[in-house]
Each structure stands twice: as C-alpha cells, then as structure tokens.
Structure 1
C-alpha cells in the first residue's frame, strides 16, 4: 500500500506544532479533450466547444470559463462550479485569479440552463456586467457569455447585451438595428418585443422603397422612444456612460486585441451612406453562428434579389461575385433547412467577407444630421432634442467629429437650432429652408420635401402644393445615350422575348393542350430561380393535382415561387405576377391597366383562352396594352414585342443554356 501523506490545502502544521507551513499554490493543466475548433471566431465556434465540455451533464447548472490567448486560440477551459438544477454559484475573484494566473488575454464564460430556456435572467445580466468590468481591471477581455442548452444557445455578444443594458438613446431608422438588442425586453409592451423587431431587421433595406414598411418602422421607433423616455424619467439616477456600439455588438474576431477597443478600425472608410453591397455582406456575415427560421432566410434572400432585379446591384459592381455567392448560398440554405437552421459560414469566406463588412462605416456627422431631420418642425420633442444636442457636443469636444468634417458647419447650425428650441424661443427645432432642402436631398433619398410657409415659431401653415414640372423635350442623341433598367434575362427565354425592362407586361395565348400553361410555369420557375419573387395566380386550375403534377414535373418547386387561387390585394412584394387566366378571372383591359399602374415595378404575364380559330378571347385592347405577345401552338411558342422580334421556343424542351 502507498504510504499515507498529509495534504495541506492552505495552512497546516506537522509534528512540530510551532513550525507553520505556507503551501505553494500552482495551477495544474490536465490533458483534456480534443476539439475540432481551436480558434474562436464566432459564437458558433464557442457553442461547438461547449458541446464537448458539457457532454451529457446538463441536468445541473455548470459554470465554465474558456481561456484564450491574444489570437483567440483556446488554451484551456475551467469548470468553475456545478450547482443544482436551477442555480449555481459564481466567485468573481476566483475567476479573475485563475484567468490571470493562466496568462489568458481573453475569456468566454458560459453556464447552462437545464430547463432549456434560451433567455437570460436578470442575475445573468448583472453577473455579465460585473465580471466584464472586473476583467477590464486586469486587461482581460470578456468576449462572450453563452447560455448553453442542448437545443441551442444565447450569445450576449450576438444580442448586444455583453456589457449590460444599453443606455437610453434616441432610436432612429439609422441606429435601430444596433441599439434595439440592448434594450431590456421586460419594459416593452408586446407590440415592441423581439418578434416584431425581427420583421424590421429583415426589411430595413426596403425602408425607402416600400411606403408600408416605412410607416411601420417609423411608428415602431416612435413608440419605442416613448417607452424609453418614460423609463428614464422613472429612474433619474446618474446617467450611465454609453458603451461604444462596437463593444456591445461585436462578435469575437480572431484579430481582436484585449487592450484595444474593437471599434477603432483604421481600415474603415467613413461614408455618407453604406454601399448597398457592403450592407448585404454585413447582414450575411451577421448570420454566422445564429439560428434562423425559414422566413428570416427568405426575407434576406428576397431583399437581395429585389436589389438585383432593380439594378441597384449590377454585374459590374465591385462585390458582384460575393453577392452572387451569397444569393446561391441562401437558396441552398433555404432548400436544405428544416424549420430552423444554425448558419455556419466557412472560416475562409467569413474572414474575407468580414473584412468587406467592416470596410465602411457611416460618418458620425451624417448620423446626427439624419436624427435632426427626424426632429425638424416637430413639437414636444425636448427630451430627444436634449439628447441629440449632448451627443453632438460630446462628439465635437472629443474630436470624434473633427473640424475638417465636411458637415461641421451644418452641425453648428443644428446645435444653434436645438439650443434655441430648448430655451423656449421656438415651438419646434427649425433650420433655414435652404439648408434643410440641401440636407433632405443629400440624406433622405426618396423623400420629397414640400416647400411650406412657416410662422416665426417654425410651425407649418397652409402648405402649398409642389409645382408639376413642364414636359421636357430631348434630342434623339440624348435619348440614345440614356440607360434603362432591364431584368437581365438570359437563356432560352431571352431568345424568345429579349431582355425586357423592369415592370414589363406580356400576354400568352393558345388552344387547350397547346403547352401554354407548361410554358408559363417553366418561365415562372426560371424567374424565381434567377430574378426575384414570383406569384402564380392559378385561377384556372386552383390547388389541385394537375397543378401539383406540373410543378413537380417541371422542377418548379422554389421558395420564391408562390401559388395563389385568386389575386391578392397587395402585390408589392412580388417582382413577377402570372395570372392564369384573364378570361377565368373576368378581368377587363381597364382592370389590367390598373394592376400595372398600381404596381409599376412588377412585371405581369397574362394568360388568355383562345377561340376555335386560335385567336385569344377578348378585345384588341389587351394586345395593344402589353409589351410582349406570345402565341403557343403545338408545343411551339412564338413571340413578338418591344424587346425582341420573331423569337421561337420549343415548350417541352426543358433545357436552358446560359
């Protein structure tokens, strides 16, 4: 048997009572588990590591710390405590001591919820905030706090709550995506909670393009500000220092240095407005490591394809290749996922796209100008005006906005306007009409500012209508030099009808069994796969076996191809609409004209019955009102129209060339 030895933990004595011993304290590193992920670049990587550590022991709460070096490589992990089924104990000094002794430059903390809940409790938030502050005193960065369950995880870094709750700030359309995640959900009514915000997150890019979405987001932001203002009045304690946006929301990056604020990126170019391609790449990178449902993936895909169809993103764009890859990956993701999916981008692509995503940032001066435009001419906005004034003054004093900023003099005018309003000299923040019109034209794309008459207090009186410009006359050479948007049609359908403009119209007619329905369903499939969201209104066949068989036979099962039995009231979300058939729907030429007028950027393909002689049923007005006429006879489609003349296509030859 082994000789019995006494173990001294802190202090002890041997056989000589007067002689005290001081033990040597060491950290012992045991040979642990092998991990596939050795370098942390996202919350998804953290979750993969934690799966190996937690194993099957998820019926009790564990508190675990991951220790990382300067390059975010995992150097070890520490199981701090194992508690009950609903709680565990955390000793912050012990965590600090071990992280320091292990020479860690960054740490990730985690605890599991045996209940399966993915929502942090108030003690969870308080612990995260206190531990983050404590680690900063020894120059160690808390990269993330991950709540672990076997079904998924919650990342404080991803959700923007890593350093505690956000301070009350004015929410605008410019900052709502970054500011909202840090707001305490418990203070919000149901109409302003996370589920509603997800709709805004996915559709913010359509703010200037869709009047319904614009009104919804504006109303959401206004109500949100009202709630935040009430809460700030309830708790008039010393204001918290606002954390840097990047410190709250930044996901762990491989190049992150613990002693440096991650927002200080010298490679970032300050711009008045983020490039649309960069904005989409940023959103795509933001998916990494997160769990998304089918609607969220489809919303991003539709927004991207709408931008492509409208030529806001072109083949000649700087990042056209990356955008094309993102589109293909989103389609692949949607087709392969179940109800939800955890999105994981390969490391090489993530690194390359992250560089692009962080290559631009909106100028601080521009952000404040846009916030002021939202206040201009409005009464009872003193709390918002006071907050904006303080933010501008602080940014100028700390030289975050330099004297060389191109909008510095505009900001001085705004400061004067806000001070005058706060002193009670005007009933609303106002600025001279010339300056305001200049700002609106620069920063409010799509916003038409009507010239109005103002009283001394700046309140609108008797608005005069904007004059309608006289028709202009141009030369033939000027017309020849103009560029018009087309949808970029390719393959055999381009050979049939050419490359039509956005919002084109076509009519298709033919005898029964001639192949006109097959042609239209296959054309709808092509458009859904390559050009945007398609609605096929199957008034003729409805949701029956015949339609199902055609869709399956033609491979026309795609998330962008939507089927309806009648024409919906709102068609704004679709780039292409097929109506099968106009005859069955009893639509007049005036009805079709109204559909096109109400939806100018939507293309319509109308399908008609024919007489025994092979002519379409209806007045000749139909033929005069469309851009393309397609006749289908014995499986051969012939087209005539404005974008191509004399094209032919074999309907039942379902092979496309690009």
Structure 2
C-alpha cells in the first residue's frame, strides 16, 4: 500500500516499528510535528516522502505474516455410517438471502487552515510534552521561512503571537539539551488557546456558511437579510480587510447583489466548493 500524509496514521497503527531502522523510528515519533507542514515546506515534504518509502516494504511484510498465521480449519474424517446418519436427520434449512453491503465511504473534508493557525496549534500541542531539538528547530524554521517569504506578514492578525512563539522556540533551542519538557507561559498559552478555539467561527466564516446554506433554497427576502448582515458586519468592524476570509465575504456579497439584480444566483461549482473548503465544510 502506498502511504500518504492522509492515510499514514491509520495504516501504520498496527505496525511494530521496533524492527525498523532508527531513522524511521524517529520520523514516526515526530510525524505529528511534521505532518501539519507537509505542504508548506519542501524539505519536510521530501523527508516524509522518503520516510513513507522506507516504511512501505515493512507493511507488505507485516501483511504476509498476518496471512501466514491464519490457519485453515482441520477437516474431520467421517465414516460412511456417520454420513448416512447425518443425511437422515438433516433438515432442509432455508438459505438466508445475502445482503449486499456497500462500503460507506466518507469523503475527505479538508478545512483550509491558515499557516499561522497551524503554527499556533502545533506550538500548543508541544506544551507539557517531551520534545526533541529537531521538533523545536522545525517549528522555528517554519516561522522563519514564513517571515522571509512573507507568507505571514507583519500586518497579519496574529503576527505578534507568531513572533512571540518564534522567540520562545529560539530561546528554548539554545538552552535545551537533546530533549526537554516543553512549557509555554500560562498567559501566552491562554491567549493562543482562545485564538484556536475561535478559529472557524469568526463573523466572516459564519456569513460564508449562511450563504452556502442558502444555496439551492434562496429567496429574495433571505438574500436581502444576508446582504444586510454582511454590510453591517463590515460597518461595525466585525469583518475587516485583515480577515483571511475578507475576499470570500466580498465574493458572497457580489453573488447576492447580482442575484437581487437579476433574480438568478450564478455560482459555479468551483466557486461553491472554494467557499465550502474555506469554511471547513469540505467539497
């Protein structure tokens, strides 16, 4: 089986990593640290892809061993007299109709999570846990790269928090040995936790979700109400140009205005799926 970032944890949960190379053991332990940034950093992607290639042959071996241990039931030899007795007493049992079972597959729903939220979540996840130098340096490297490439700008809503995280990681790395028990200052931890808890339920996301729910069931009255909500949210400062979802809210506003002008809601599947992905509703 080919390993991917999505199926790795499920596929490898029964694999005994004690027989794997040391590098594979370490990468497996730190998978959660790397996984969040698989699409953000080429070095991390390359490292994990190589790790997958190392692990895949062991999955095949484990599968073969599992098959080999399954023993077929021993057949009992019966005498003619036993067979004839069974034939006499045997009653016809109506066969049960085979019920076809359809695989109930759930589509992968991928929420579009901004890099700064990923960093904050990963940082919080380290709190109280034993971490390695590599884990600390990795997260610091992601922050440095984001600053250099301006993926997270100084005008970002959480730029100050990301800066504090970067400074704390740098200081920790200087002072720690090979490993340490990572601790986040209480005040910073509380603030960051609130940021993560609030993510996804911001006014911008709520407005986008309302529009998605209206799709296919829209009326002029409903469109007017939502359009007024968007305008009021902007006017009241609840939705500003610094919001990650600001452009999407503008997109929704445009769709509503066009609908009220023409009585036709012209939204392509690509546009709708884009809004769903941004709101964390999947496609």
TM-score scaled by length of structure 2: 0.46
Give the number of the structure whose residues are more often helix, by fraction: 2
Larger RCO (CA within 8 A; separation ≥ 6): 2
TM-score scaled by length of structure 1: 0.22
